[in-house]
Amino acid sequence: MLREVGNILAGSMREYFDLAGRYGGEEFLLILDETNGEDAVHIVERIREKIESTRFAQVDTSGKIIENQFINITMSFGVAHLNHGADAGTVIQAVAGADNALYASKQNGRNQTTLFKEKI
């Protein structure tokens, strides 16, 4: 399932501008170049809706696909805007801001996108 979600994310990125990768166990990091916070939220919402509407094949404990059995998943997202030319410390702050926004999405009912409001 993680691989399929990764494929959805990768397929949603602009080829020469954006980057998607696995950041942790079940976490992904998306970098949307030259995109402000509000526009990023709209992009991420489209991705979230695509994931929510995808029927993922169910697998057994050995990893074999169970025929005609599917599951649906939802994802929560946090978004932070980072100004161009930021140094490494500021990038770390942006990732922390996105992480805070992610936890706000989870605390407010999950399956949503939250924009970190503080300036970075």
Helix (H, G, I), strand (E, B) or coil at 70: strand
pLDDT at 83: 83
Instruction: Name the residue among 14, 8, 93, 86 with its Cα closest to residue 54.
Output: 8
Phi, psi dihedral angles at 63 (to 5 degrees): 95, 5
> pTM for this structure?
0.89
Instruction: Name the residue among 24, 20, 2 with its Cα closest to residue 10.
Output: 20
DSSP 33: T
Number of neighbours of residue 1 by Cβ within 10 angstroms: 13
pLDDT at 84: 79
Low-confidence ranges of the chain (pLDDT < 50): none
Question: Which residues form the domain of 43?
Answer: 2-115
pLDDT at 120: 67
CATH number for 71: 3.30.70.270
Active site residues: 26
Residue 120 resides in a domain:
no
pLDDT tens-place string over residues 87-119 = 888 999 999 999 999 999 999 999 999 999 886
Judge contact between 52 and 74, C-beta under 8 A.
yes
- Look at the chain and report how many structural domains it folds into: 1
Residue 93 resides in a domain:
yes
pLDDT at 118: 80
